[in-house]
């Protein structure tokens, strides 16, 4: 069977699986729709959280990104895993004990204020839409690349699938579908990595192969080889960074804190039965995420060595390589040339390809190729290529579904039930939740088909806003029981305002001036959420100094969420 037929079969089979789960786990009440009745096993919840968290960008682009960034890629690796420690230790158990459905629920109740609730709802909706627009595009790209349909049809198929199991199943349907999607995704990610690790270093585990010698008989360590190649070709040394240390520090911190503040991640910890399970489930989630995140940097370096050697040809004892004749190039180069992900321009007219970091360079290489073409570079069988397609689709679908659910919950629960129309029945609320999910899918699909040019830029927004708004408000809400609504609202508004202005200025108003010399304290817009978070804390405590403590019943509420006993199930009121 050829690759295309196999891809259709494997991706098709995965869809059938997702549909079957959605029908089996369809939601009958708002509680099932919002938090899967709070009855999800911690390990299953861990897998679902991992699938929710790891998007098409993690699956397809991250290894490639690291491959081109070298050491600096650590900002993503540390940032997108370290946040779970904060989440597990400082947020998840207490929010679970609090026992409501959403983040705006907590902010609104803890700070006894509809203003605080509304600010939180708007932030949650904005963060999720920012994110989901990119995901739908990812679905379209994966489909178009592997199934050879155009991107619009790809997005439409993706919308159809997500529509089916989100609108029908709500959180319950999504959770169990995400468990299946995690399994598909991680298997698809590890198989090529293990094969390549064995081929290059003789180690089954890519994580140990990463730090060992190559099997080509040279006895050179993989990373030393990569450093040598990088310097020789006019790149920076792979294992050293180019970004400033303060910037690396701030980006990492903003991503960590942003991760811990993202509403679609936090809401997952409302779905487990007990506080104890919320703690444990964060551990499992990070373990499942770490399997992919410790493999990504290994793929990054394996694929980079592979690619350089394929394009430039092996270097023979002391003689620098001069390039591989285009006519001798392996078939994956011409295959992926058709998609525009790799291209060659014979500048010096010698008929040979050459890849370098200076004027000798003749190649344009897209970072996504590091994962997508990996199975072909390593000469793996066709079913592995099909599997990678199914994995990419699973990654994009699972994240979109989780985000769409938060949008629908924010509208039907936080905005309608808790704000505008408190008297609606459970049935009506469920109907509005489904309606909101359906509308959100259409809006997300529209963004997927007509991507605004700023999608890549606004991702910094999502993390920056989560870091500078939700995280400090929740932390103070739990660990400082006297903090009052005025302080918290002033903190949130100044944190968001500052972060948003900085990002808007450098990304939209003055993109030409987006250079380290102009940044405050050398912090790029990606890392500014860290300063926004500090500002939030400072403003909140300053305003608090001049206003009255939180009322006694609120302080009592905070004391109650500080210990696990009597958590019960997540309730609406």
Q: Under the rule (CB under 8 A), what is the footprint of another protein? A: 66, 71, 73-74, 77-78, 81-82, 84-86, 88-90, 93, 207-208, 210-213, 221-224, 239-241, 245, 248-249, 252-253, 256, 274-276, 279-280, 282-283, 286-287, 290, 293-294, 297, 479, 559, 562-567
**Residue pair 396/58 in contact by the 8 Å Cβ criterion:** no
Q: What's the CA angle centered on 19, arms 15 and 22, to 5 degrees?
A: 140
**Residue pair 43/121 in contact by the 8 Å Cβ criterion:** no
Minimal distance, residue 279 CB to another protein, in Å: 5
Concatenated DSSP letters of 106-158: HHHHHTT-HHHHHHHHHHHHHHHHHHHHHHHHHHHHHHHHHH---HHHHHHHH
Concatenated DSSP letters of 390-424: HHHHHHHHHHHHHHHHHHHHIIIIIIIIIII-TT-
Beta carbon nearer to another protein, 72 or 376: 72
Place of tokens 């699973």: 394
**Residue pair 101/570 in contact by the 8 Å Cβ criterion:** yes
Beta carbon nearer to another protein, 130 or 271: 271
Beta carbon nearer to another protein, 84 or 470: 84
**Residue pair 367/65 in contact by the 8 Å Cβ criterion:** yes
Report H helices in 313-454: 331-337, 369-372, 374-377, 382-409, 426-449
- Six-digit token string for 179: 């468990």
Beta carbon nearer to another protein, 151 or 254: 254
Minimal distance, residue 560 CB to another protein, in Å: 10
Beta carbon nearer to another protein, 88 or 554: 88
Q: 108 to each of 120, 474, 554, how far by Cα in Å?
A: 8, 11, 11
Minimal distance, residue 238 CB to another protein, in Å: 9
Alpha carbons 257 and 255: distance in angstroms, whole number = 6
Tell me the pairing of strands 324-325 and 352-353: antiparallel
With 0-12 / 13-18 / 19 or more C-beta atoms within 10 angstroms meaning exposed / middle / buried, residue 438 is: middle
At 71 the three-state DSSP class reads helix
Beta carbon nearer to another protein, 82 or 495: 82
Beta carbon nearer to another protein, 33 or 84: 84
Beta carbon nearer to another protein, 41 or 276: 276
Minimal distance, residue 195 CB to another protein, in Å: 20
Beta carbon nearer to another protein, 118 or 207: 207
Can you state the angle between helices 74-86 and 275-312, rounded to 10 degrees? 170
Mention every residue, 6+ apart, whose C-beta is less than 8 A from residue 295. Answer: 189, 190, 193, 206, 207
Neighbours of 501 (CB within 10 A): 13
Q: Burial letters for 387-411: b for 16+ Cβ neighbours within 10 Å, e otherwise?
A: bbbbbbbbbbbbbbbbbbbbbbbbb
Place of tokens 């699909």: 445
Beta carbon nearer to another protein, 239 or 343: 239
Beta carbon nearer to another protein, 112 or 221: 221
Among 479, 440, 416, residue whose Cα is nearest residue 104: 416
Q: Burial letters for 99-127: b for 16+ Cβ neighbours within 10 Å, e otherwise?
A: bbbbbbbbbbbbbebeebbbbbbbbbbbb
Minimal distance, residue 220 CB to another protein, in Å: 9
Beta carbon nearer to another protein, 24 or 479: 479
With 0-12 / 13-18 / 19 or more C-beta atoms within 10 angstroms meaning exposed / middle / buried, residue 497 is: middle
Q: Taking the CA atoms of 476, 467, 543 and 116 in sequence, report the sign of the dihedral they define.
A: negative
**Residue pair 323/349 in contact by the 8 Å Cβ criterion:** no
Beta carbon nearer to another protein, 298 or 412: 298
């Amino acid at each position: 069977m050829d690759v295309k037929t196999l891809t259709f079969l494997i991706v098709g089979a995965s869809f059938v699986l997702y549909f079957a789960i959605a029908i089996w786990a369809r939601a009958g009440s708002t509680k099932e729709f919002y938090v899967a009745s709070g009855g999800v096993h911690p390990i299953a919840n861990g897998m679902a959280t991992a699938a929710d968290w790891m998007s098409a960008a993690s699956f397809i682009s991250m290894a490639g990104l690291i491959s081109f960034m070298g050491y600096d890629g650590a900002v993503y690796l540390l940032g997108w895993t370290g946040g779970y420690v904060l989440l597990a230790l400082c947020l998840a158990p207490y929010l679970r004990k609090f026992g409501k459905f959403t983040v705006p629920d907590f902010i609104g109740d803890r700070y006894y204020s509809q203003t605080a609730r509304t600010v939180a709802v708007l932030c949650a909706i904005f963060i999720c839409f920012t994110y989901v627009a990119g995901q739908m595009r990812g679905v379209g790209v994966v489909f178009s690349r592997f199934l050879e349909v155009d991107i619009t049809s790809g997005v439409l198929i993706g919308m159809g699938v997500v529509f089916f199991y989100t609108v029908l199943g709500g959180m319950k349907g999504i959770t169990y579908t995400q468990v299946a999607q995690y399994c598909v995704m991680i298997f698809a990610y590890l198989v090529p990595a293990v094969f390549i690790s064995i081929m290059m270093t003789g180690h089954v585990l890519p994580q140990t192969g990463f730090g060992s010698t190559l099997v080509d008989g040279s006895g050179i360590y993989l990373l030393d080889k990569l450093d040598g190649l990088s310097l020789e070709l006019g790149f920076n040394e792979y294992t050293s960074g180019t970004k400033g240390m303060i910037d690396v520090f701030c980006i990492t911190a903003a991503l960590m804190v942003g991760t811990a503040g993202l509403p679609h991640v936090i809401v997952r910890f409302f779905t487990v039965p007990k506080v104890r399970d919320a703690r444990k489930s964060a551990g499992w989630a990070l373990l499942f995420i770490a399997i992919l995140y410790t493999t990504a940097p290994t793929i990054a370096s394996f694929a980079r060595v592979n690619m350089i050697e394929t394009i430039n040809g092996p270097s023979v004892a002391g003689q620098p390589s001069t390039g591989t004749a285009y006519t001798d190039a392996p078939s994956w180069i011409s295959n992926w040339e058709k998609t525009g992900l790799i291209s060659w321009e014979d500048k010096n007219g010698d008929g040979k390809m050459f890849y370098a970091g200076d004027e000798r360079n003749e190649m344009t290489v897209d970072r996504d190729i590091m994962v997508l073409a990996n199975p072909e570079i390593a000469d793996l069988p066709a079913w592995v290529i099909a599997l990678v397609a199914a994995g990419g689709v699973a990654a994009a679908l699972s994240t979109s579904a989780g985000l769409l659910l938060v949008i629908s919950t924010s509208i039907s629960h936080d905005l309608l039930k808790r704000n505008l129309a408190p008297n609606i029945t459970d049935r009506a609320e469920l109907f509005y939740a489904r309606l909101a999910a359906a509308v959100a899918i259409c809006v997300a699909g529209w963004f997927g088909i007509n991507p605004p040019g700023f999608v890549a830029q606004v991702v910094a927004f999502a993390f920056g806003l989560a870091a500078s708004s939700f995280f400090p408000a929740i932390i103070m809400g739990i660990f400082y029981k006297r903090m009052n609504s005025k302080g918290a609202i002033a903190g949130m508004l100044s944190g968001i305002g500052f972060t948003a202005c900085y990002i808007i200025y450098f990304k939209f108003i003055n993109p030409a001036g987006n250079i380290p010399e102009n940044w405050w304290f050398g912090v790029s817009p990606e890392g500014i959420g860290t300063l926004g978070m500090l500002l939030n804390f400072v403003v909140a405590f300053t305003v608090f100094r001049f206003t009255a403590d939180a009322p006694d019943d609120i302080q009592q509420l905070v004391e109650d969420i500080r210990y696990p006993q009597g958590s019960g199930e997540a309730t609406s009121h």
